Amino acid sequence: MRNSMKVAKWEIKRNMMNKSYFISLFLTPAIFIFFFTVPGMFTSDPADDELLVYVDDRIGVWEQAEEHISRENMNIITDSSFESEDEILRELEQYTEDAVIIQITEERIQSGAVPVYLSEDVDEMAVFQFNALEQPLRQLQLENLGLDETEAALASAGVSLTPVSAESETEAVEEAAADPLERLVPGLFAGAILFAIMFTGMMIFQSASQEKKEKVSEMVLSSVTPSDLMQGKIMGYFVLGIVQVLFWAAVALPLVQWQTDIPVFDYLFVPELALLLLIAIAGYLMFAAIFVSLGATAEDVNASSNFQGIIMMLPFLPFVFIGPVLSDPSGTLAQVASFIPITSPAILLLRLSVIEEWPWVELILALLVLFGSILIIMKLAGKIFKTGILMYGKNATPKEILKWIRQ
């Protein structure tokens, strides 16, 4: 273990000094920030500018609807009074800032159209911000037509179709209350970790292959055992991957929270995250073991055979199942894919991000299968690595690899 740590330390140091790692560490968040902020600079968001709202309410409807109208980015002046439409239009022309004038009078209600006057640059969509006025206005209109207050209120509320599922009422209430992002955020984070460290994991392939190509492995193996070397590489690249992900997360998450108002951090740091991270790490260990042993079989990445190419594609297999699993996260396909080691980490993360009630029994069984497979894969990878890393000068064929496993 001590020797593995030394190898890990070396791999970390060697790569941290490496330009390509450095570039990917900083460039990715830089690109992210660029795409997140730069387009916003060119498109001015109307919500960003303060909207002046003049309300000339002669009936008192505004007061009834006021609490349902968002006051964000709005400066509302309710004691305005305008004589005529011409005056309103003249007034609006004079404003340099965005302004809206709402005039509510008896006549307007009777005519059924309450105008919302907009200054030149204000988008017509701004009208929807005052939707809350519609219901009390309709009620007034109905009262004017002779209905009493209760009848008018009832009629103006309208009739709507309400879905009622077979779920117990409390669950339905909970579900309605729960924000889907609450589950999704930790899942997405763990998924991002899985894929980011998996990409770093692919660097293990290169590292093992390079070690073989540069013929340095024999020298290293005179000091440490092959399994020390393999474990050291897996650990080293894990740390490199994690450093990368955490750095990216440290840049991206506050940015997302700031720009979208989603309480990302509240959603992220929940107990469930620990399990999701465990699955992501298990996934990494499995693919890292596959990659490191595969790297030991190929001297030249470009000249590696189709066989190596196919294995390299394995981590992307779960993508095929994303659609069907999302449409039915508890379906047969999702369940089967949770028990196949190659797809299991990604599919489990995906399912746990969307399923409200986690299927614990199934989850524990799937994890046991996953951990068992990792142990077996690691053992086999060790055998392949041990022989492959010293076989200079050629890429191993699948037949040879099979033979090493049987040894």
Partner 1 sequence: MEKVLSVSQLGKSFKDRQIISDISFEVHKGEIMAVLGPNGAGKSTTIRNIMGIMYPDEGDINFHGYGDGAIPRHRIGYLPEERGLYKNVKVMDILLYFAELKDYPAKKAKERALHYLKKFDLEGKEKTSVEELSKGMGQKVQFIASIIHEPELLILDEPFSGLDPVSQELFKKEIRNLADNGTAILLSSHQMNLVEELCDRLFMIHRGQKVIYGTLDDVKARYANFKCTIRGRNDRERLQQLTDVQRVEEQEGRSVLHLSRETHVPGWLRQIPEELDIQELSIDRISLHEIFIGIATDRLGAKEADLIEK
> Minimum distance from CB of 189 to partner 1 (Å)?
32
- With b for 16 or more beta-carbon neighbours within 10 A and e for fewer, the 244-283 pattern comes to bbeebbebbbebbbeeeebebeebbeeeebebbbebbbbb
- 116 CB burial (10 A radius; 0-12, 13-18, 19+): middle
Question: Which listed residue (118, 224, 242, 255) binds partner 1 by CB under 8 A?
Answer: 224
| Residue 206 interacting with partner 1 (CB under 8 A) | no
Long-range contacts, 24-32 (Cβ 8 Å, 24+): 24/244, 25/243, 25/244, 25/247, 28/244, 28/248, 29/247, 29/248, 29/251, 29/252, 32/248, 32/251, 32/252, 32/255
End-to-end CA distance of the chain: 24
Q: Take residue 300 and report the two structure tokens written for it.
A: 């030249």
Q: Which stretch binds partner 1 (CB under 8 A): 54-62, 129-137, 159-167, 211-219?
A: 211-219
CA–CA separation, 178 and 117 (whole Å): 39
Q: Is residue 223 part of the contact set for partner 1 (CB under 8 A)?
A: yes
Tally: H helices and E strands in the chain: 19, 4
One of 74, 127, 147, 221 touching partner 1 (CB under 8 A): 221
Residue 178: both structure tokens together: 């729960």
Per CB under 8 A, the list member of 216, 274, 303, 320 interacting with partner 1 is 216
Measured between alpha carbons, how far is 382 from 295 in angstroms, rounded to an integer? Answer: 12
Cβ at position 11, least distance to partner 1 in Å: 10
Establish if 77 lies at the interface with partner 1 (CB under 8 A): no
In this structure, what are the phi and psi dihedrals at residue 79, rounded to the nearest 5 degrees?
A: -95, 35
Q: What CA–CA distance (Å, rounded) separates 402 from 384?
A: 9
x/- mask, partner 1, residues 337-376, rule CB under 8 A, reads ----------------------------------------
Pick from 171, 392, 394, 402 the residue near partner 1 by CB under 8 A: 392
| Piece of 11-19, 130-138, 289-297, 377-385 that binds partner 1 (CB under 8 A) | 11-19
Report in angstroms how near the CB of residue 405 gets to partner 1 at its nearest. 16
Measured in residues, the chain has a length of: 407
Q: Which stretch binds partner 1 (CB under 8 A): 5-13, 89-97, 135-143, 371-379?
A: 5-13
CB of 269 to partner 1, least distance (A): 37
3 near partner 1, judged by CB under 8 A: yes
Report in angstroms how near the CB of residue 308 gets to partner 1 at its nearest: 21
Q: Does 6 bind partner 1 (CB under 8 A)?
A: yes
Residue 13 interacts with partner 1 (CB under 8 A): yes or no: yes
CA distances from 249 to 75, 139, 168, 227 (A): 37, 51, 38, 32
Cα–Cα dist 341/373, whole Å: 6
Q: ∠ CA 71-76-77 to the nearest 5 degrees?
A: 160
For the CB of residue 10, give the shortest distance to partner 1 in the complex, in Å. Answer: 5
Query: Looking at 58, 68, 71, 215, which residue binds partner 1 (CB under 8 A)?
Result: 215
Local structure of residue 168 (DSSP, 8 states):
-
Least distance from C-beta 31 to partner 1, angstroms? 25
Tell me, residue by residue from 80 to 99, as one string, x for binding to partner 1 by CB under 8 A and - for no binding: --------------------
390 binds partner 1 (CB under 8 A): yes
Question: What is the rounded distance in angstroms from the CA atom of residue 52 to the CA atom of residue 76?
Answer: 6
Instruction: Choose, by CB under 8 A, the member of 219, 270, 368, 402 that binds partner 1.
Output: 219
Residues in contact with partner 1, counted by CB under 8 A, come to a total of: 23
> Which position among 120, 121, 167, 218 is part of the footprint of partner 1 (CB under 8 A)?
218
Range 277-316, binding partner 1 (CB under 8 A): none
CB atoms within 10 A of CB 312: 18
Instruction: Note the residues at the interface with partner 1 (CB under 8 A).
Output: 3, 6-7, 10, 13-14, 17-18, 210-211, 214-216, 218-225, 390, 392
